[in-house]
Structures are given as C-alpha cells and as structure tokens.
Amino acid sequence: MMKKFFLLSFLASFLMIGVAIAQNTTVNGKVTDESGNPIAGASVLVKGTKAGVNSDAQGNFSISVQANKVLEVIAIGYESRQVSTNAKSFTIVLKTDVKSLSEVVVTGFGGSLIKKELTGNIARVKGKDIEYMPTPSVDAALQGKAAGVFVNSQSGKLGQAVTVRIRGNSSISASSQPLYVLDGIPVTSQDQSTYGGDMNPLTDLNPNDIESIEVLKDASAGAIYGSRAANGVVLITTKRGKAGKTQITFNLQTGQSEATKRVRMLNSSEYAELALEAAKYSDDEEGLDYTDPYSYTQYMKDMMSYHSYGQWDTDPTKSYDWQDQAFQKGQYRQADLQIRGGNDKTKFFSSFQHLDQGGTIVGNELSRTTGRLNVDQKANDWLDLGVSLSLSRTYNRRLPGDNAFSNPLQSAALMPMTPFLDPETGLPAGTPPGDVNVGLYFNPRIQIDYAKYTQDVYRTFGNTYFKVKLLPGLTFQSEFGLDFLSQNEERYYQTQTVRNTSSANGEGTNTGAFITNYNTNSYFNYNKVAGVHNFAATLGMQYQQSQAKYNSVTGTDFPSDSYQKIASAATKSDGSSSQTDFRFLSYFLRSNYTFNEKYIVSASGRIDASSRFGKNSRTGFFPAVSAGWILSNEKFLMDNKVVSFLKARASYGIVGNSEIGNFPQMGLYTGDAGYAGAAGQRPSQLR
C-alpha cells in the first residue's frame, strides 16, 4: 500500500510540474514615466530568474511568465518597481530616482564627482543593471542603458563586433568607435580577426566583474582624454573588496534562444511557376517554341530536375525550407562564483566564470572561462597598494562572412526543390562522392560538417598601483597596466568542400595575432573643502605603448583529412608576417570648483604627443571649460513642490580622433615583391 501511495505521489508531482509549466501566459505591458511618456529600453525581469525582455521605443513589452510571478522593472534614472503578473495587460509607471543624483560618478584618473555636481555629460551604468543580461560582451550590454549611446550588433553570430556610437559618427575616414578604459588602462578593442567578419575583443571581459560603467559623452567630460575622446570614452571600473564578513556568491543559469522570425520563402510550386513564367517570356522574345530542347523553358525544367536529383519530375510539389538547415536552438549555460571581503587593512575580490553558448545559427559556438583577483592593501597611514589581475580564454567556433555562400544563412538562396540530403549517399546535397554541382549554389551544410574555423584567444589584463598621502588633501598615485592578447585562428577545409575551395585534397590556414599593450599613469590629486568652497584638482601624465605582431601561413594537399595542421601540407602556398607599433605621451590638468553647492566651474586640458601624428604636428592641445548652476538650491525654488531638481549648464571643449592608423603620415615600403628567387620591395603606402 505504501509503495502504491509513493508511486501515486511521485506521478502526481510530475503532473503538477507539467501543469505549472503549461500555465505560462503572455503578459503585455507598457512602461512610462510619471508624465505618461514611454520609457524605451527598460529591463522587465522575472524576479528570481535571469529571464527578461526590454521595452521597445514606445515603452511596450511582451513576456511569457508563469502565473503569480513578480516582474521587476529597471530603467536608468528611475526607481525600480515590482509588480505581480495577475493581470495580462497593464501599464507600469516609474518614478524619477532623485537619490541617484547623490551617486558618485568616476571622471577618470582618480577623479570623481557627485552626479548632481557634474557640468560635463556623463552617463553612469551600474554593474547590477547589466548583470541580468545574458550577453557575453560589455559593450553590447550598454544597449538601451544610456541616452545618446547607440549599440548595434552587426550580425547574429556569437562574439561578433558591436557597433557603438556615442552621439553619432564623428569621422568619415577614421574609426568612430569609443575609447575603452578598464580600471584606468586603455585596452585593445579593435577587431583582430582575418576572416568571417569582425570580432569583438571585449568579449574576453566578464561583464559580471563590473562595478560601474561611465560614458563620457561630450567634449567637456572627455577632454581629459584629449586626442582619443572624439568618439566618446567608456570608463569601466571592476568590483573591489569590502571590509566585513566574506561574501560568497554562486550563480548558475541556463537558457535557450532561437530565431523568432523567418523569411517567408517560395515553395517548389511557387518557385517553378515564376521560373517557368520568366523562361517562357524569354522564349517569346526570341520566338522559341516552349518544347524546343534549346528553349529557356526546357533549360529551366532540366535545371530544376537536376538540382532536385530528379524528384521534381515525379513530385513537383515536394518542398524544402532551407532555413531549417540554417537555424538551431542555441543552448546557454553559465556558472559564476564571486568571493568578496576583507578588513581595514586588506580587501579582496575574486571571481570565476565559465560560459558555454550555442548560437541560433547552425555551427556557431562560444566558450569562455575567466578568472579575476583584485586586492587592495593599506600598508600604513600614508601608503595604499593594490593589484588587479584577470585571465581569460575565449574559444569561438566561427562562421564564414555574411556574404559568403558558405554561410548557413545563405542556404535560403538554394532552390526549394533541392533535398537536404543526397538520396543515393545520405550525405548533404552536393557532397562527394555524389554530384558536387547539385545545388544552385554551394551547400553551406557541407561547410558546417566538413570544415572548421576556430578562434582561440588568451587574454590578460593586469594593473598595479600605489597611492601616497603627501599632505592633507594631497595624494600621488602611480599605476602600471598591461593588456596582453594572444589570438590563434585555424581554418581547415576537408576534401568534401572542393566545390567551394577548389582544393581536392584539403586546404588549411593558421593565423596568429599577438598584441602587447603597456600603460602607465602618474598623477597628483588635491581636494579641499573650506566652508562653502569645494575645490579639486588633478595633474599628471600618461604613457602608452602598443605592439602588434601578426603571422599567417596557408597549406594545401594534405595526406588525408586526419591531418589538419600546416606541417602536414605538401604545399605551403602562402605565408606572411608583420608588425606595427604606436605610442602616446600625454600630460593633463583638471580642476573643479563648487561654491555653496550652487555654482560649479570646471576646466581641463591635455597635451597629447603620438607616433601617429606627423613630425610637424606631433602634439596637440585639447582644452575644455564648463559651468553649472543648480537652480533648485536657490531660495526662490527651494519651496517649490513641482520641480525637485533643476540645473543649468554650459560647456565648451576640443577633442581629437587619433584612430587614424599607425604611421599614416609616412611613405612605407613592403619587402614582399620578390620574383624568380630575387628579393624585392614595393611601396605599400604613399605620402
């Protein structure tokens, strides 16, 4: 009897689970401010989970959720709010977050200001605002989080480059991407890949390690970064230790993603109808009989028969939607461990993350493992020391470029009467030993099954500092940082891809990129508060040196597909190597003055010298001034109950764009013009 009762209880529990899963309902809503204006980009999250969506430009959202769950709505500049999901449609009104005006905003080089005292335009994104987002990239996480910041993914592939524009494009010929600064150190953020579309080096950084992100949007805020601030500056600050009981946080999340919308393609009958209609029109133009063996109509029929392995002749309605071969359900698994603590002397933060993510496009996978350790030590009353170290490995199974016929998304261009598989061999259509020419174009599925393209990146971010208290209010801080990137790309095409590569015995390519980026900052900070007067100043210098080395080798004619390294190739058909460097030496000054918490004046200036500039204009000066007036602190507005905070501000500044490449002012030669065994050189860049 007990066994029966246990079995019934066991089955009932599964029945209840099934019922609970089946009770998911779609909740529709709109997020607005107190005036009824829509709030775009608000995060609507299912509390206690990582599931969520963002509101669109009209503030609308739609989310699938179980009954009696709680939604948490978060938007920058507004107080978060929690609502139940009892109703299927409702409007969520968010109140302005007045308390955020007292937040401390990082301004660079050890400087910080209370948000309400800013005279430049700086947007702040807290780490907790992006930790809910299932995105492996820091810059992609900025989407919808800061006004004036446009974020666009270039394709649906994992690890792809992300276009970030702060207040629009700033240049036609130079880069328009912002400068990224991690814990005071400018980092490599440019694409280093050689094939298959641009990639994003910021994917190597764990977004859950971030304490805050400040986006310097105007010239007044960015002039402290001089010739590198025309596209805006993104300051990334990682989490540090806190005195108190050690906190251990472990988070495990899993999910699934899929393409929500497909293109409506023609089926076989519709395709044949239009193709034959076009063919008959051509026959009419040239006076050909439709039954003539050399007519366009007969040619089109023969082509549809050939590319369908003859199936179209017997069943012209048989159709294949090749988008089924392009898309998949991407699985997402991520584990995070964070340990944070310390005492009055020593504080530490450490983290570990492992991410496995499958793309929504067949054959696309990303795996990342990161570890971080941040330690701060108060050696004595006048000396503070600290070190930060982050190690990561990012492995990406990549896809061909979007315009290549070997890209899975291009499979939609194949005829709808072409079967997925060769009926004779059971292999993907167009795969040898079958007819390799079947398929109007090369079948991307062959590329997925019989070729590999991998990118393996090892990344190290390191930073150490010491801070000396010289006098009351006066400190000196020196920092040394390192960003090391080691990237290896491997491509190998098996013999089955011969139609795409023309290499009957295999083809392989190995490409390496090695970038070493050093940076040092040394600066004085002075802060003085005397009654209604508040003065702060920063004076310092910065030096950066970056060296990039690249090499590539290609081989063909391998003994078999079991040998996929270049050493096994009978013919080393191509090889190259190169190196490029750049340097910056900068001096900067910044001052801020506030009187009676009402009147604010700021000024800054930076002198930049760089190897990228011509000898007649090796240096540039980039000044900025700004002023602010907090009207809500004036007596005539203090008792006002309509306006809680009002500030007028004006600014002027000059910034530059140094992303013009290395040595653009010089005539360059390349020594790759050898011929018939004799060495040679050629001009590769004209002055």
pLDDT of residue 20: 37
d(CA 576, CA 85): 60
The per-residue pLDDT for 348 is: 97
Residues 6+ apart with CB under 8 A from 429: 309, 418, 419, 420, 421, 422, 438, 439, 443, 445
pLDDT band at 506 (very low <50, low <70, confident <90, very high): very high
Rounded average pLDDT over 436-462:
95
Compute the average pLDDT of residues 572-597: 93
For residues 577 and 555, the answer to whether their CB atoms sit within 8 Å is no
Average pLDDT over residues 384-401: 95
Q: Is residue 260 part of a domain?
A: no
Is 656 part of any domain? yes
DSSP classification of residue 309: T
Structural domain includes residue 16: no
Q: Does residue 662 surpass a pLDDT of 90? A: no
Same domain, 51 and 28: yes
Residue 365 has pLDDT above 80, yes or no: yes
Is the pLDDT at 480 greater than 70? The verdict is yes
Please, which pLDDT band fits residue 75 given cuts at 50, 70 and 90?
A: confident
* More reliable by pLDDT, 368 or 78: 368
Please report the pLDDT score of residue 147 as a whole number: 83
Does one domain contain both 516 and 549?
A: yes
Average pLDDT of the segment spanning 48-70: 79
Query: What's the domain range around 181?
Result: 99-244
Would you say residue 3 has pLDDT above 60? no
Return the pLDDT at 101. 61
Position 670 confidence tier, pLDDT thresholds 50, 70, 90: confident
Q: Is residue 51 domain-shared with residue 182, that is, in the same domain?
A: no
pLDDT at 18: 38
Judged against a pLDDT cut of 60, whether residue 84 lies above it is answered with yes
Residues 305 and 231 in one domain: no
Instruction: Give the tens place of pLDDT for each residue, 230-286.
Output: 999 999 999 999 999 999 999 998 888 888 888 899 999 999 999 999 999 999 999
Domain CATH number, residue 461: 2.40.170.20
Predicted pLDDT at 483: 97
Shared-domain flag, residues 482 and 624: yes
Measured CA angle at 431 (ends 425, 437), to 5 deg = 115
| Residues 328-356 pLDDT 10s | 999 999 999 999 999 999 999 999 999 99
Both 532 and 616 in one domain: the answer is yes
**Per-residue pLDDT at 77 exceeds 80:** no
User: In the predicted model, what is the mean pLDDT of residues 620-636?
Assistant: 92
Please report whether residue 125 resides in a domain.
yes
90 and 207 share one domain:
no
Range name among 385-389, 487-491, 513-517, 659-663 with the lowest pLDDT average: 659-663
Sign of CA dihedral 7, 12, 17, 21: positive
CATH (domain of 129)? 2.170.130.10
Higher pLDDT, 225 or 5: 225
The answer to whether residue 453 is domain-embedded is yes
Instruction: Give the span between the Cα atoms of 518 and 354, in whole angstroms.
Output: 27
What is the maximum alpha-carbon separation in the chain?
100
Domain boundary, last residue among 244, 265, 285: 244
Give 100's pLDDT tier (boundaries 50, 70, 90): low
Say whether both 415 and 304 belong to one domain: no
Mean pLDDT of 630-653: 87
Mark whether 118 and 89 lie in a shared domain.
no
Decide: residue 368, CB within 10 A, 0-12 exposed, 13-18 middle, 19+ buried.
buried
pLDDT band with cut points at 50, 70 and 90 for residue 115 = confident
What is the predicted pLDDT for the residue at 50?
62
Model pLDDT, residue 69: 81
- What's the CA gap between 410 and 65, in Å, rounded? 35
Give the pLDDT mean for 612-619: 89
Residue 22 above 60 pLDDT?
no
pLDDT at 103 over 50: yes
Question: Of 51, 70, 96, which closes a domain?
Answer: 96
Residue 132 pLDDT > 80, yes or no? no
Q: Indicate the residue among 318, 344, 373 that finishes a domain.
A: 318
Question: 108: which strand partners?
Answer: 111
Share of the chain above pLDDT 90, in %: 61
Q: Does 15 score more than 50 pLDDT?
A: no
Same domain, 371 and 411: yes
Cα–Cα distance measured from residue 237 to residue 228, given in angstroms and rounded to the nearest whole number: 19
Q: CATH number of the domain at 34, please.
A: 2.60.40.1120
Residue pair 292/298 in contact by the 8 Å Cβ criterion? yes
pLDDT band at 10 (very low <50, low <70, confident <90, very high): very low
C-alpha distances out from residue 349 to 241, 369, 376, 483, Å:
5, 17, 9, 20
Q: What's the confidence (pLDDT) of residue 21?
A: 39
Residues 81 and 111 in one domain: no
Q: Average pLDDT for residues 490-504, to the nearest whole number? A: 93
On whether residue 2 sits in a domain, the answer given is no
Q: Is 300 a member of any domain?
A: yes
SS3 per-residue string spanning 32-70: ECCCCCECCCCEEEECCCCCEEECCCCCEEEEEECCCCE
- On whether both 70 and 121 belong to a single domain, the answer is no
In a domain, 677, yes or no: no
Least confident of 13-17, 208-212, 256-260: 13-17
The answer to whether residues 330 and 257 touch, using CB atoms and an 8 Å cutoff, is yes
- Residue written as token pair 């009467």: 417
Q: Between the CA of residue 9 and those of 4, 347, 445, what are the distances in Å? A: 8, 51, 47
Considering its fold, how many domains does the chain have in total?
4
What percentage of residues in the chain have a pLDDT greater than 70?
A: 94
The answer on pLDDT for 158 being more than 60 is: yes
pLDDT averaged over every residue in the chain: 89
